[in-house]
A and B are shown apart, each in its own frame.
Chain A
């Protein structure tokens, strides 16, 4: 019908000219020349960061210092496309913060802010249309064949940033090496990192409820049977209270307790997928038991994030899984739980080993994403990198204050302690997604309450040393790119069914075997090849 008509429109000859199968090559990040790390002489944090990545902590906003002297642009324009998390911002002509930032930059930045759900669609459509902006966010899922795309359309930044070259961009140089590793593909630096605090954590627990059953911290839990007892004590349906309730069962928490590998386990060059390990099955079986015994709120696996947040804030659920960034700030659990009920306090969940030993957390939040630069001449690339340098101004700098809090007086006022207090219009003015184009290393900061900062910092210092990275994070496997989600979907569906009690563990084992057969083994081979290259 329509398709036949379409073919004739193209003409028979055109089909034979259709492209040759391009080499979908495997690639490894290891041998790139990474930028040298040049720490900035920033303000002294209240608690210093550590070499293995535990972030610095601040109780109050330090006295701002200027980190960028010269305006990066000279009247030019930089275009970008990135995610929009949060409300649509005020447009430029109504946004004093945007105008102030562009004044400091010395030029204009045109940002195409796309809702994260739509990013894949819009990004690929834009690419198909042929017009690429200067800066492009790679959120990790929009471009399956990333190496091909990078090589075809993006600039190799190694000559401009590798080794000592990065000293031209001091704010970017202050970002430690571990974050730059994620920007490498096929042996070259192709993008800029958006750093995060290395681990997403193991979830949160309502400390007040925990204390009611005799514990002051989850670290006191000895093993999985002890854990089971604690959860049972925390569950009281007649009082509208359950121990657990999270989207998709909050399995990350369980996996940390059972020491499931972070995506892949690397034993001397041999790779095993996490779903193939005994630990994975043990975690799933444990969760299934918990669900069967009514320790999860029934139906909670299908909760939207709003529903989970509500349940936790109101005290309906004692433990949830949510990323650690959700702890601080005005909408963070640190503040919202006491706001709902002054007796309640939320703390990060510190996991323990299922067998009494140590837990194993995941370094699954090293970067939010990376930002690619379009191929361009050197002069333009340097200009774009200068803008990125501005945007990556560290916490405590004037520029950071401007980018994240807006214009003094209009968007915020400084209180007696030097902390910015947001005004009503701040939310919309600061919603422009600068921080998803370039960003500094994160810190722990919440001026409202010292204990929030202490709690979170202490959690990071406990969780990060327990963390393992994904050995394949900076490798590329073509099959994983084009089939990865598709062949993993039946496994996660089976796991959900097993935990919810709709299926037996055999179904999951079958699904895992299916994964191996339908591409998993190929992916493993490709990754091993890249690893050992």
Chain B
């Protein structure tokens, strides 16, 4: 066995009771993983490489470069010049953090409230939430509501209209309902109130679901552009709108002469914006990852 493979083996944490893996199985698994990783990384690599290439090289390579011959940071310089992208990035960060925190809070509260099976109006509240997953209001009515509330062209219009997703609500509720109820019964008998149980007992046991749902909300806010398009002027655009503007310019639908108005930005620039919007996610994800993967919370539920 090579040192490299031995190194990998060293990180193994096979429990005592588990059988030794068959070498054939190992090879198959490894092959599958290699293919999967390749499939995941190939487009990313292409995006990164293209963002570092010149337009000429891109054109000669049909639009996707893998190995840039003369890497250049020109694209990044262009988009960061003048600060539009930087400002948008910061705006997106703040909106994402604040939005995720608010969404999580509201979702957790409502989900917990709905865990009591005989809650007054419980079934009604749950149904009203579920219903919203199937029927959404149209663009114009939503716009009118936001306008009535005086939220047009304000950052609140990026957070409040999509504050809670019924999908995530159901998920969190389901998780809460499957925590060991005996713990909570015991605490009740000792005199603890509902809210206290939520804060002191339920939440600490729910790190996994909070991390996952938090990630979903976070990604949702980070990528959301529709509300920004509808409610904000372009001087308040988050990064997702800036990115979308670049990408849309490269794919007009139609062949009219008006289409020629568009000076298609270098694809390097389009790719560079994609990379820039990916970086925060790539940074944050590993931190969250340990909350919903094996090895951290095994046994935490018990006792």
Contact = CB atoms under 8 A, between A and B. Distances in A.
A85 B250 CA distance: 11
B255 A306 contact: no
Contact of A364 (B78, B251, B257): B257
Interface stretch (A229-237, A247-255, A389-397, A449-457): A247-255
A425 interface: yes
A329 B263 contact: yes
Interface centre among B59, B135, B147, B256 (most CB of A within 10 A): B59
Contact of A304 (B82, B233, B251): B251
A310 B59 contact: yes
A86 B250 contact: no
B260 interface: yes
B255 A250 contact: yes
A112 B152 CA distance: 13
Nearest to B87: A91
Given A250-B255, A321-B255, A331-B264, A84 B245 contact: yes
A247 B59 CA distance: 16
Interface stretch (A25-33, A114-122, A266-274, A525-533): A114-122
B76 interface: no
A21 interface: no
Interface string A175-198: 000000000000000000000100
Interface stretch (A99-107, A124-132, A220-228, A512-520): A124-132
Given A84-B234, A84-B245, A87-B242, A325 B144 contact: no
A94 B82 contact: yes
Contacts of B55: 313, 336, 339-340
A325 B260 contact: yes
A243 interface: no
B14 to A, nearest CB: 49
A88 B245 contact: yes
A125 B255 contact: no
B81 interface: yes
A247 B131 CA distance: 42
Contact of B81 (A339, A365, A368, A425): A425
B63 A306 contact: yes
A117 B251 CA distance: 10
Contact of A86 (B63, B77, B256, B263): B263
A379 interface: no
Contacts of B77: 424
A86 B249 contact: yes
Nearest to B263: A331
A425 B262 contact: no
A339 to B, nearest CB: 6
A142 interface: no
Interface string A298-332: 00000011110111011010000111111001010
B249 A85 contact: yes
Contacts of A321: 255
Contacts of A316: 62
B60 A129 contact: no
B259 A91 contact: no
Contacts of A429: 82
Contacts of B144: 128-129
Contacts, number: 167
B82 A305 contact: no
A246 B255 contact: yes
A487 to B, nearest CB: 17
A87 B84 contact: yes
Contact of B260 (A94, A248, A326): A326
The majority secondary structure among interface residues of chain B is helix
Contact of A128 (B60, B79, B140, B254): B140
A324 B83 contact: no
A459 interface: no
A197 to B, nearest CB: 9
A200 interface: yes
Nearest to A199: B257
B229 interface: yes
A88 B237 contact: yes
Contact of B56 (A200, A247, A340): A340
B56 A305 contact: no
Nearest to B269: A87
B234 A113 contact: yes
A326 B229 CA distance: 28
Interface in B118-162: 131, 135, 139-140, 143-144, 147
B245 A200 contact: no
A316 B79 CA distance: 29
A115 B244 contact: yes
Contacts of A336: 55, 59
Nearest to A240: B62
B230 interface: yes
A21 to B, nearest CB: 21
Contact of B140 (A115, A124, A247): A124
Contact of B255 (A92, A121, A139, A248): A248
A129 B230 CA distance: 12
B81 to A, nearest CB: 5
Interface in A276-318: 304-307, 309-311, 313-314, 316
Nearest to B273: A87
A306 B251 contact: yes
B259 A115 contact: no
Nearest to B142: A125
A428 interface: yes
Contacts of B58: 310
A368 B261 contact: yes
Interface of B: 55-56, 58-63, 77-79, 81-84, 87-88, 131, 135, 139-140, 143-144, 147, 229-230, 233-235, 237, 241-242, 244-246, 248-252, 254-267, 270
29 contacts: A84-B234, A87-B242, A87-B265, A90-B83, A92-B235, A94-B83, A113-B233, A116-B248, A116-B252, A121-B139, A129-B144, A129-B147, A199-B257, A246-B255, A304-B250, A305-B264, A310-B63, A313-B59, A321-B255, A324-B260, A325-B260, A331-B263, A331-B265, A331-B266, A336-B59, A340-B55, A365-B258, A368-B261, A429-B82
Interface of A: 1-2, 84-92, 94, 112-118, 121-122, 124-125, 128-129, 139-140, 196, 199-201, 246-248, 250-252, 304-307, 309-311, 313-314, 316, 321-326, 329, 331, 336, 339-340, 364-365, 368-369, 424-425, 427-429
Q: Give 4 closest A-B pairs by Cβ, nearest first.
A: A323-B260, A200-B257, A428-B82, A306-B250
Given A88-B245, A310-B62, A368-B258, 13 more contacts: A86-B265, A87-B84, A87-B265, A88-B237, A91-B87, A115-B244, A116-B262, A199-B257, A304-B250, A306-B63, A323-B259, A324-B260, A424-B77
